Amino acid sequence: MYKELADLLLPEVKKDVSYYEELYKPRDLKEGEVVTRFAPSPTGFVHLGSLYVTMINRIFTNTNGGVFFLRIEDTDKKREVENGIEGILEALKDYNILPDEGAINESEEKGEYGPYKQSDRKEIYQTYVKYLIEQGKAYPCFCHEEDLEKLREEQEKLKVRTGYYRSFAKCRNLSIEEIKQKIQSGEKYIIRLKSPGDYDRKIKIKDGIKGELEFPENDQDVVILKSDGLPTYHFAHAIDDHLMRTTHVIRGDEWVSSIPLHVQLFTMLGFKVPKYIHVAPIMKEEEGNKRKLSKRKDPEAAVSYYTQQGIPVQAVKEYLYNLANSNFEQWRRDNQDKDISEFEFKINKMSASGALFDHVKLLDVSKNVIARMSAEEVYQLGLEWAKKYDNELATLMDEYKDYTINLLNIERTGKKVRKDIAKWSDLRDVLEYMYDEIFFNKDFEYVYQNITDKDEIANILKQYIEIYDVNDDKDTWFNKIKELAESLGYAREVKEYKANPEQYKGHVGDVSMVIRVALTSKQMTPDLYELLKNLGKEKIQRRFEKALK
């Protein structure tokens, strides 16, 4: 009888489930190896949270061995966006967390367990739906949106659980004649699961992060096949992760509450239930409220935001590692030179509750990441960024490559590296005044500190340019400034000045500041000796002249 119903509802489905079971054989895995997946919708937006979960999938698979694949969940045609897949792949590539199987571009894919795009798997889903119908485990439902709304109102009035279940499931016990009649009169329908669950019974399941979880059994007759013939997420999850032989489902914890349904689906279909690992979301605080980072409200929810801001991929990655395993930070300090892949990541060390996203901390991680880079790397990555977001800077960096690298190398070697660059956009502040093209064309304001008298400034600069020699080593260079300072009535040493301030006009630092400001217009710069040396005497002179105008 159910067989007849199944043929009536899905006449075009000819294959049997055994065909697919045969086609997608269990994977040949070594002991301990895992199969994981990332299953995004191609909505044209890569969320930081998705990136985070994907990264965890990738690391988990790397440490255990096995396969990590990408499945495109495009069963909701309304939300789909053009080139959504490319966008996802680009982000995964940037972050070096590309999958082993699945889509490799908009239309192609690799791997033996495909198609990896759900819209191409329609026939597979329908075969399994038919299989359930044949066994009396699924049935057609003719209820409309209005019917369901009415049902909900009714249930709310009665103060019972809302939903399509038990006696509220009107279409559950339709006779085959009734069904035939409705179909013949052209009524639209969807397919629902005939849930055998009992809400008063509990199921227990162990989650890889959250530990033992207990829920009531699912008794909702959820929709498994939509009116467009495509499956709902839940059904597709069961079919795909079974046929693709997923061993560990690592996903965001918004799915925790669907566990009873998912376990039920796997069980009813005769599949082995995979291990579940639910990752807590990344949160944001706003006006005292916490919530998940929101695609609509928070620009920082987009992975592309960080690229634009000029925060290096490596920094975002390390920040996310910190969130995932907080001992990563210590490891990083102890292993400055090691590659991130050497860190021993433990999934069960992840926090069960969501962490607030901390942009300040991200920048701190970032400046340390950049501090570990060589001047050449900073140059390369910075230039890449500038080409997209700061054209003028990019042009100059490109034209004065060696000069720029030398500037970036100031105070970059040795133990105490300066950390004044947290993102590539900071390069502008660090570099612009060192390019004559900008320095002589932009109106920089000279704000001197302690010495403000024009004649005195002119006097210092004139005398200084006479004694400056590019070939001086640092000690000689500084001694010259000290001598100049002394001859003009300033203390050679700051300490001397502090001891007897009334004896001096100021100290060597004040004189240095005059040189610094005249040279750069800034009171805060990297090492003055290096800056002078990089500019050379002629340029120094031109800059002094400009300052004295």
Residues between 486 and 525 that touch RNA (CB under 7 A): 493-495, 508-509, 512-513, 516, 523-525
Q: How far apart are CB 301 and RNA at their closest, in Å?
A: 12
Query: What does the DSSP assignment read for 340-362?
Result: GGGS---GGGS-SSPEEP-HHHH
Binding segment toward RNA, per CB under 7 A, in 14-22, 125-133, 253-261, 433-441: 253-261
Binding segment toward RNA, per CB under 7 A, in 176-184, 280-288, 303-311, 537-545: 280-288
Residue 355 CB contacts under 8 Å (≥ 6 apart), including other chains = 280, 282, 283, 323
Q: Exposure of 163 by Cβ count < 10 A (0-12 exposed, 13-18 middle, 19+ buried)?
A: middle
Binding-site size for RNA (CB under 7 A) equals: 83
Residues in 198-237 that interact with RNA by CB under 7 A: 210-211, 213-216, 223, 226-228, 230, 232-233
409 scored as a contact of RNA (CB under 7 A):
no
* Residues 496, 499: Cα–Cα separation, whole Å: 5
Which C-beta is closer to RNA: that of 368 or that of 394? 368
- DSSP letter at 52 equals H
Which C-beta is closer to RNA: that of 170 or that of 419? 419
Q: How far apart are CB 30 and RNA at their closest, in Å?
A: 29
* Residues 547, 515: Cα–Cα separation, whole Å: 10
Residues in 118-137 that interact with RNA by CB under 7 A: none
Q: Phi and psi dihedrals of 482, rounded to 5?
A: -60, -45
331 scored as a contact of RNA (CB under 7 A):
no
Exposed e or buried b for every residue in 443-455, given b needs 16+ CB within 10 A? ebeeebeebeeee
Binding mask 410-429 for RNA (x = CB under 7 A): -x----xxxxx---------
174 scored as a contact of RNA (CB under 7 A):
no
Binding segment toward RNA, per CB under 7 A, in 318-326, 380-388, 439-447, 541-549: 318-326
Binding segment toward RNA, per CB under 7 A, in 1-9, 62-70, 127-135, 289-297: 289-297
Residues in 78-97 that interact with RNA by CB under 7 A: 79
Q: How far apart are CB 181 and RNA at their closest, in Å?
A: 18
Q: How far apart are CB 349 and RNA at their closest, in Å?
A: 6
Structure tokens at 488: 């003009």
Mode of pairing for the β-strands spanning 34-38 and 282-286: unpaired
* Residues 547, 440: Cα–Cα separation, whole Å: 10
Which C-beta is closer to RNA: that of 310 or that of 506? 506
254 scored as a contact of RNA (CB under 7 A):
yes
61 scored as a contact of RNA (CB under 7 A):
no
Residue 392 CB contacts under 8 Å (≥ 6 apart), including other chains = 438
The helix (H) or strand (E) run that includes residue 281 is none
Q: Phi and psi dihedrals of 103, rounded to 5?
A: -60, 140
353 scored as a contact of RNA (CB under 7 A):
yes
537 scored as a contact of RNA (CB under 7 A):
no
By CB under 7 A, name the one of 161, 180, 387, 428 that touches RNA.
Answer: 161
By CB under 7 A, name the one of 37, 121, 292, 412 that touches RNA.
Answer: 292
Which C-beta is closer to RNA: that of 286 or that of 398? 286
* Residues 47, 300: Cα–Cα separation, whole Å: 9
Nearest to 279, CA basis, from 358, 208, 362, 214: 208
308 scored as a contact of RNA (CB under 7 A):
no
Total count of residues recorded for the chain: 549
Which C-beta is closer to RNA: that of 227 or that of 476? 227
By CB under 7 A, name the one of 104, 256, 273, 313 that touches RNA.
Answer: 256
By CB under 7 A, name the one of 86, 100, 123, 358 that touches RNA.
Answer: 358
Q: Exposure of 21 by Cβ count < 10 A (0-12 exposed, 13-18 middle, 19+ buried)?
A: middle
Q: How far apart are CB 512 and RNA at their closest, in Å?
A: 4
Structure tokens at 266: 């796997």
Q: Phi and psi dihedrals of 418, rounded to 5?
A: -70, 145
* Residues 153, 165: Cα–Cα separation, whole Å: 15
Nearest to 50, CA basis, from 345, 292, 347, 263: 292
Cα–Cα separations (whole angstroms), residue 318 to 322, 327, 368: 6, 12, 10
* Residues 409, 401: Cα–Cα separation, whole Å: 12
Q: How far apart are CB 252 and RNA at their closest, in Å?
A: 8
Which C-beta is closer to RNA: that of 161 or that of 387? 161
Q: How far apart are CB 378 and RNA at their closest, in Å?
A: 14
Look at phi and psi of residue 119 and say left if phi exceeds 0, alpha if psi is from -120 to 50, else beta.
alpha
Residues in 426-485 that interact with RNA by CB under 7 A: 478
533 scored as a contact of RNA (CB under 7 A):
no
Binding segment toward RNA, per CB under 7 A, in 263-271, 353-361, 384-392, 440-448: 353-361
351 scored as a contact of RNA (CB under 7 A):
yes
Which C-beta is closer to RNA: that of 300 or that of 329? 329
Which C-beta is closer to RNA: that of 117 or that of 394? 117
**Is residue 191 a contact partner of residue 138, using CB atoms and an 8 Å limit?**
yes
**Is residue 543 a contact partner of residue 439, using CB atoms and an 8 Å limit?**
yes
